[in-house]
Structure 1
Amino acid sequence: MTLRERKRRRTRQAILAAATELFERDGYTATTLDDIAAAAEISKRAIFSYFASKEDLLFPESDARIGAAIGAIEARQPGDGPVQVLMRAMTTTTQDSDDLTGRRAALRLRLIRTVPALRGRALQQQLDAQREIARHLAAAFPADLDAISAAALTGAFIGAVMGVLDLLLEKEDPLQDPAEVRATLLRATQVALAPWLEASSAKRDL
């Protein structure tokens, strides 16, 4: 990584840290981009070099998660099935980033419940992710999945993740231990995807 790339990464992280702190302290609606720029010690204009809108500050890794899933599909090994590549993608993304398991995840889920614009944004991103991942799964595993089964599998996978995160949010001290959250997500997705795992095992045994 070049010096310029490291500097951009540090600036991006400073913006996200400032936004998270201010959203927690002052609320999403009351916090302005000017406030965030001042806290991050950059200009407001500079924020737009990293994020297109204030909403994007709460969903900074959404595209990366879709990319990780598609990357896992494309890097599949002989013997891998659709479930295996989805589980590998989740493991990779939760190890590389705490966006689903840490402080910002808890904040995002709380705000989705109370800010209609964020709730709509979250739903649209979830639908877009399901559609894109399902399309790649169906193309990669034509012997195992058609468009309908790929959509169902992807929906079960993403639904399990979101359902568990929503449940963990209700705890008095939500998402305190990212490692514990990762383990819980893994267990939940294994439960949700058990029918596909069993069908895959039965097919291999034939």
Structure 2
Amino acid sequence: MTDQRPAPAAGLRERKKRRTRDALLRAALLLFVSQGYERTTVDEITDTVEVSQRTFFRYFANKEEVAFAVQDVVESHFLAALRTRPASEAPLEAMRNAVLASWDTVEEAISDVVPVDLYMRSYRLIESTPALLAVHLRRSTELEEEIARLIAAREGLDLDADPRPRVAVAAFSGVMRVTGRLWGQGEDTSVAAIRRMTVAYLDQIGPALAEDWRRAPVAG
């Protein structure tokens, strides 16, 4: 019988590639948060890791891709959590529980690549850098569509015929954007802080949509 196991050398090459990519990512994020995204050059990133520009572009198309690399992981983590929510949960309940579960396990999801604190600082950088914020909003729109399709599939709906999945996702995503922006303006940059804010703001979707706000005071 032929041995189908991969050659050890191939495994070593893949681990080396992963280490190089992770080192470039960490170096870039550290430079971005310490001196600003726009003031950081690719040369500075590669000099920090002691590799060539050619090596950088083997892993990343540009600085923008580096800036959002960990965000990609976090968003994929949320989508995976949403796919596992029980069918018995209503759409907003499923999204709420998925995002809270994601915050509970985000450190495990990204700590092999970058420290969670560095990710949180880079998220604040995205919120405060006009060029990155514009990209973030575009990406958020694309993510909303993906979530809406997932919700429609959960509920057995035709997304193009039934507006409810997109409306529910728009409400959820709007709250998440407000939460992220306000968290980014605060002093506590911890995961626990943004999780607490997420709970508080998502819990206000129902009251905010009440027919008469004067008769439905916000719980203190």
Shorter-chain TM range is: 0.7 to 0.9
Label 1:120 to 1:62 Cα distance change in 2 as closer, same or farther (>3 A). Answer: same
2:81, 2:101 within 8 Å by CA — same for their partners in 1?
Answer: no
Counterpart position of 1:26: 35
2:59 aligned partner, one-letter code: Y
Aligned equivalents of 2:199 and 2:25: distance in 1? 26
Query: TM (normalized to structure 1)?
Result: 0.75
2:70, 2:119 within 8 Å by CA — same for their partners in 1?
Answer: no
1:83, 1:193 within 8 Å by CA — same for their partners in 2?
Answer: no
CA RMSD, aligned part only?
Answer: 3.1
Label 1:42 to 1:181 Cα distance change in 2 as closer, same or farther (>3 A). Answer: same
2:81, 2:99 within 8 Å by CA — same for their partners in 1?
Answer: no
Counterpart position of 2:175: 160
**Structure 1 unpaired stretches of 5+:** 197-206
For 1:79, what is the secondary structure of its paired residue? Answer: coil
Query: TM (normalized to structure 2)?
Result: 0.71
Aligned equivalents of 1:24 and 1:100: distance in 2? 8
User: What's the CA shift string for 1:119-175, capped at 9, x where partnerless?
Assistant: 3211210110111111121121137x864221121112121121112112223x351
Counterpart position of 2:121: 103
Aligned equivalents of 1:192 and 1:55: distance in 2? 33
Query: Is it true that 1:137 corresponds to 2:132 in the alignment?
Result: no
Aligned equivalents of 2:120 and 2:174: distance in 1? 19
Counterpart position of 1:123: 137
Displacement after TM superposition at 1:34 (Å): 1.2
1:184 aligned partner, one-letter code: M
**Structure 2 unpaired stretches of 5+:** 1-10, 111-115, 210-220
Counterpart position of 1:184: 197
Query: Is it true that 1:64 corresponds to 2:73 in the alignment?
Result: yes
Label 1:3 to 1:88 Cα distance change in 2 as closer, same or farther (>3 A). Answer: farther
Aligned equivalents of 1:153 and 1:193: distance in 2? 12
Q: How many residue pairs are counted as aligned between the two chains?
A: 189
For 1:84, what is the secondary structure of its paired residue? Answer: helix
User: What's the CA shift string for 1:89-141, capped at 9, x where partnerless?
Assistant: 31343232448972111122111xxx3x3232112101101111111211211
Structure 2 residue corresponding to 1:170, chosen from 185, 193, 196: 185
1:135 aligned partner, one-letter code: R
1:118 aligned partner, one-letter code: L
2:175, 2:202 within 8 Å by CA — same for their partners in 1?
Answer: yes
Equivalent pairs: percent with the same residue? 30
Displacement after TM superposition at 1:5 (Å): 5.5
For 1:30, what is the secondary structure of its paired residue? Answer: coil
Label 1:102 to 1:78 Cα distance change in 2 as closer, same or farther (>3 A). Answer: same
Label 1:82 to 1:7 Cα distance change in 2 as closer, same or farther (>3 A). Answer: farther
Label 1:104 to 1:78 Cα distance change in 2 as closer, same or farther (>3 A). Answer: same
Query: Is it true that 1:47 corresponds to 2:56 in the alignment?
Result: yes
